[in-house]
Amino acid sequence: MNRLYLTAAVAALALGTQAQAESLAIALKTEPNSIDPHFNYSAVNIAPLSNIYDPLVESDAVKKPIPALATSWTALDDLRWEIKLRQGVTFHDGSPLTPRDVVYSWCRAPLIENSPSSYATFVNKMASIEIVDDSTLIFTTKEPNPLMWSDLSQIFIISAAKMGAEETVTFGAEGCTGMGEVPQSAVFSDLGYAMGTGPYKVTEFNRGEALRLEAYDGFWGDKPDYDDVTIRTISSDGPRVAALLAGDVQLIESPPIQDIERIKGEGFKTTETKSARVIYLQLRQDMTETPPMMEAEGNPLHDQRVRQAISYAINRQGIVDRIMGGYAEAAGELLAPPMFGTTGRAVDPYDPEKAKALLAEAGYGDGFKVTLGAPNDRYVNDERVAQAIAQMLTQVGITTDVDATTASQFFSRRNKLDFGMFMAGWGSSSGDTSSPLNAMVATANKDIGAGGWNYGRYSNPVVDEKIAKALVTVDDAEREKLLQEAETIALDEFGILPLHYELTVWAMAPEVHYEPRSDQRTAAYLVEKAE
Amino acid sequence: MSDLTTTAPRRKDTPLRRLARQFLEDRIAVAALAVFLAVALFTLLGPFIVPQNPYDLAQLDFMDGGLPPGSQSFSGMTYWLGTDTQGRDMLSAIAYGLRISLAVSFTSLILALIIGVAAGLAAAYFGGRIDTLIMRVVDIQLSFPSILIALILLALFGRGIDKVILAIVIVQWADFARTVRSSAIVERRKEYIEAAHCLGLSRQRTMFRHLLPNSLPPLIVLATVKIASAISLEATLSFLGAGVPITQPSLGLLIANGYDFLLSGRYWIAIFPGVALLITIVAINLVGDRLRDVLNPRLQK
């Protein structure tokens, strides 16, 4: 095999770059932690896996729905949706896609054990999924669901037969039947299980090395421009850029901002777009005793004035200008305005004097000690932003240390509520504020799928009620008003502190074209040959 | 032995004095020693002469981040070697970083030396099963690359200065044990040890007052080599992100921070700490080389 590659490489060199055009190499910043599409609800996994699997509905570059495995989704009444399944779709082993696969996939998603971030949120909204005929399904939701398309776009469809399901799989009020023995994520080490209906099939997945893909001839949609794709992960910024400049890869995501000028100078291209992602601080505020990784009397973060002080101590524009090199926008909300549900709320002012006064008023004039948790390979300049925040907090008297680790370590510790204060990011999957509000602001309640990422444990019944209502209100004007009210209350109580909206940047070789996407997805099937 | 005629009995030519005299004959070694002493002095006095405490976040301002060498801060302070992205004055950061690097390596060296010497002497003196046991442990340990052992240990313990020290001690004690044992075995068979036995001296006294001083020369050479390797091991671990915490960067971490900016032309963030590390290690190694020459009887005139 190696010799073959070598020969090919020599031939390619001899013929110039033309001969290599069919294969593509991409470098990502963060590595997916499984190729089980139901293991981890995280953009890190979804982006590479979207090459292999398809959901019912897809979203385009600007978060508008486009048909995927479903050709249409029509509301029959407040709760019932008729889904028309695309005909002639086959899995990578050639077997046809059937409604049973859809039901099975929706049933399996919440059953994955040890999921760092579960898909149950979406599945729990459904009361039942019925199979009407070979091309029709009826999804019944528990409550009216104005963002049905967005929920339908979350679950990747896999083959029920391959997973060992029984002949009939049902999803009813009593739960699912006919599931057989549900294979857990570990079985995906056998690549045969990593089988979807997507444009590419997996040929190799070695963690720490590469995900190799090969175009699937029987794909139902447009054939992607490149046949052979290697998706590597290079988490260090410098080497990722170097790989692009050296020609090892043709497309990289989030090139370090300081290198963009250099990249352009060498004849490479960059594209960028405002993302639906906000970087925020969550503060553990429910408990009265001292939260983990903090040295203080009681829990200072329980006091709204302290949370306000923290927000006022942060120079958001400074971070944007100096750390982000202008490739971000200071945030006053959980989603960049003017997206749906935003209010145009002003960015909290940078006022260290006021912050000190508020701390004194709250009885923490002498400050306290806290460790700020953050990932160091997930968001643009995350570790540096965290250090800058630590500086600014220390300057108003809150002695802050930074504990920055790789994303996988950071998120699993965060999910165990190991941090009293941490920095992370949230990309709105629905393109409106309902996603961040329901995930991070609503009171944590597994049973109704609310507050699944509310690791600050902010809780306000009034806000909960508005969010819950917004989620089931179909009237757009009414829904937007509810979302705006809920967001304003939560932010004015400093339940969560937005920092900035990321601008997402891609850098690529001149022969490649990549349309920037607001969901920050980097996927091989979206890469085109430049004109 | 010219001493016999010129010096009084109290000022006889001790091995140490002979060593010093021979060492000073080599100019390069003397220069290296001077450089090392200057570095040591700089790290000791650093906090009093550099303009900033880079570990006190309240003194940093990231708005001053990434300035080239010679820039002025808002408050009029000059950043002679520029700043990193967090607004750390590189000169101050290097002074403090060197302090951590040297403190970590010297502390771990001394601890490794104590453990290694005790184990090595015990093995040589008692022989038999104790010898076998200790030496097999040493063999096993030496069969793994030290960076690998250190990385595994730090992955288990987590980040922190104390943990780095512990990791280096665990990596390095075995070398000392082996060296001390081999030279002690030679010494053990000499008459003066037998004499000590005949005089009825205690084991500890024989081991530490008689056996140890005479086994010292190879140990001194090894220690200088090992101090340099401890410094670079610490720097490597920190560079890989497994060492000291990011708010208290040592040289390795400073280089790692600057590494991201090499492509964009902000060379000073990585280069200056790198040069400091290079100078320190080369100086120590030159001193070590000369000591080895001086202490090697075969190279004696």
Same domain, A139 and A288: no
Q: How far off is chain A from B247, nearest CA to CA, in Å?
A: 7
**Two tokens, residue A104:** 């099975």
Do the Cβ atoms of A148 and A75 come closer than 8 Å? yes
The β-bridge partners of B71 are B79
pLDDT for residue A19: 41
Same domain, A468 and A350: yes
Same domain, A190 and A279: no
User: B3 falls in which pLDDT band (50, 70, 90)?
Assistant: very low
In a domain, A231, yes or no: no
In a domain, A178, yes or no: yes
Contacts of B246 in chain A (CB under 8 A): 383, 387, 402, 404
Based on its alpha-carbon atoms, the radius of gyration of chain A, rounded to whole angstroms, reads: 24
Contacts of B264 in chain A (CB under 8 A): 256, 258-259, 261-262
Same domain, A184 and A304: no
Q: Is A241 on the interface with B (CB under 8 A)?
A: yes
ipTM of predicted assembly, 2 dp: 0.74
Give the whole-angstrom CA distance, residue B280 versus residue A530: 51
In degrees rounded to 5, what are phi and psi of residue A278? -110, 140
For residue A322, give the nearest of B63, B261, B262 by CB distance.
B63
**Does the beta-carbon distance from B57 to A391 stay under 8 Å?**
yes
In residues, how long is chain B? Answer: 301
Contacts of B259 in chain A (CB under 8 A): 236, 238
Nearest to B127 by CA among B213, B185, B173: B185
**Does the beta-carbon distance from A388 to B260 stay under 8 Å?**
no
Q: Does residue A300 have a cis peptide bond before it, meaning omega lies within 30 degrees of 0?
A: no
Chain B residue with minimal CA distance to A372?
Answer: B247
In degrees rounded to 5, what are phi and psi of residue A294? -150, 145
User: How many distinct helices (H) and strands (E) make up chain A?
Assistant: 15, 22
Q: How far off is chain B from A325, nearest CA to CA, in Å?
A: 11
Cβ-based neighbour number of residue A90 at 10 Å: 16
Q: What is chain A's pLDDT, residue by residue, as a tens digit (531 residues)? A: 444 454 444 444 444 444 444 899 999 998 998 999 999 999 999 999 999 999 999 998 888 899 999 999 999 999 999 999 999 999 999 999 999 999 999 999 999 998 988 999 899 999 999 999 999 999 999 989 988 999 999 999 999 999 999 999 999 988 899 999 999 999 999 999 999 999 999 999 998 889 999 999 999 999 999 999 999 999 888 889 999 999 999 999 989 888 898 899 999 999 998 888 999 999 999 999 999 999 999 999 999 999 999 999 999 999 999 899 889 999 999 999 888 999 999 999 999 999 999 999 999 999 999 999 999 888 989 999 999 999 999 999 999 999 988 888 899 899 999 999 999 999 988 889 999 999 999 999 988 879 999 999 999 999 999 999 999 898 889 999 999 999 999 999 999 999 999 999 999 999 999 999 988 899 999 999 987
Same domain, A171 and A74: yes
Owner of token pair 């943990």: B163
Do the Cβ atoms of B36 and B287 come closer than 8 Å? yes
Same domain, A188 and A284: no
pLDDT for residue A8: 47
In a domain, A280, yes or no: yes
Q: Which domains does chain B have, with CATH numbers?
A: 106-244 (1.10.3720.10)
**Does the beta-carbon distance from B247 to A241 stay under 8 Å?**
no
Contacts of B247 in chain A (CB under 8 A): 387, 390, 401-402
Nearest to B233 by CA among B287, B171, B152: B171
pLDDT tens-digit readout, B164-216: 999 999 999 999 999 989 888 888 888 888 888 888 888 888 878 888 877 78
User: H/E element holding B165?
Assistant: helix B161-188
The residues, ordered by sequence, that sit 6+ positions from A299 with a Cβ below 8 Å of its Cβ are A284, A285, A287, A288, A289, A290, A291, A420
What's the domain range around A454?
274-503
**Does the beta-carbon distance from A391 to B261 stay under 8 Å?**
no
Contacts of A245 in chain B (CB under 8 A): 263
Give the whole-angstrom CA distance, residue A251 versus residue B33: 51
Nearest to B258 by CA among B47, B50, B93: B93
Chain B residue with minimal CA distance to A322?
Answer: B63
Chain B residue with minimal CA distance to A323?
Answer: B85
Average pLDDT of chain B to the nearest whole number: 85
Domain-terminating residue out of A196, A221, A237 = A196
Same domain, A75 and A168: yes
**Does the beta-carbon distance from A388 to B86 stay under 8 Å?**
yes
**Does the beta-carbon distance from A262 to B265 stay under 8 Å?**
yes
Domain-terminating residue out of A136, A166, A196 = A196
CA–chain centroid gap for B19, Å, is 20
Contacts of A394 in chain B (CB under 8 A): 56-58
Chain B residue with minimal CA distance to A321?
Answer: B63
Q: Is B160 on the interface with A (CB under 8 A)?
A: no
User: H/E element holding A276?
Assistant: strand A269-283
Residue type (1 letter), A528: E
Do the Cβ atoms of A368 and A296 come closer than 8 Å? yes
Residue type (1 letter), B149: I
Give the whole-angstrom CA distance, residue A307 versus residue A287: 14
Count how many Cα atoms sit within 13 Å of the Cα of residue B147 in the half-sphere of its side chain. Answer: 11
Q: Does the pLDDT value for residue B219 go beyond 90?
A: no
Nearest to B90 by CA among B103, B98, B80, B76: B80
Owner of token pair 């989620």: A471
Do the Cβ atoms of A158 and A122 come closer than 8 Å? no
Q: Is A404 on the interface with B (CB under 8 A)?
A: yes
In a domain, A329, yes or no: yes
In a domain, A85, yes or no: yes
Strands A496-508 vs A251-253: parallel, antiparallel or unpaired: antiparallel
Domain-terminating residue out of A181, A196, A211 = A196
Give how many domains chain A has, as a whole number: 2
| Residue A158, Cβ density class (10 Å: 0-12 exposed, 13-18 middle, ≥19 buried) | buried
Contacts of A390 in chain B (CB under 8 A): 57, 247
Contacts of A242 in chain B (CB under 8 A): 263
Mutate to test the interface with A, among B52, B62, B238, B259 (most CBs of A within 10 A): B62
For A350-369, b/e burial (b = at least 16 CB within 10 A) is bbbeebbbbbeebebeebbe
Residue A286 is given by DSSP the state: S
pTM score, whole prediction: 0.78
Question: Where residue A418 sits, what CATH number does that domain have?
Answer: 3.10.105.10
For residue A391, give the nearest of B66, B86, B241 by CB distance.
B86
Question: Where residue A127 sits, what CATH number does that domain have?
Answer: 3.90.76.10
Nearest to A171 by CA among A137, A115, A127, A206: A127
Owner of token pair 């209350």: A489
Q: Is B63 on the interface with A (CB under 8 A)?
A: yes
User: B300 falls in which pLDDT band (50, 70, 90)?
Assistant: low
Q: Is B86 on the interface with A (CB under 8 A)?
A: yes
pLDDT for residue B86: 86
In a domain, A218, yes or no: no
| Residue A392, Cβ density class (10 Å: 0-12 exposed, 13-18 middle, ≥19 buried) | buried
Residue A250 is given by DSSP the state: S
pLDDT for residue B230: 92
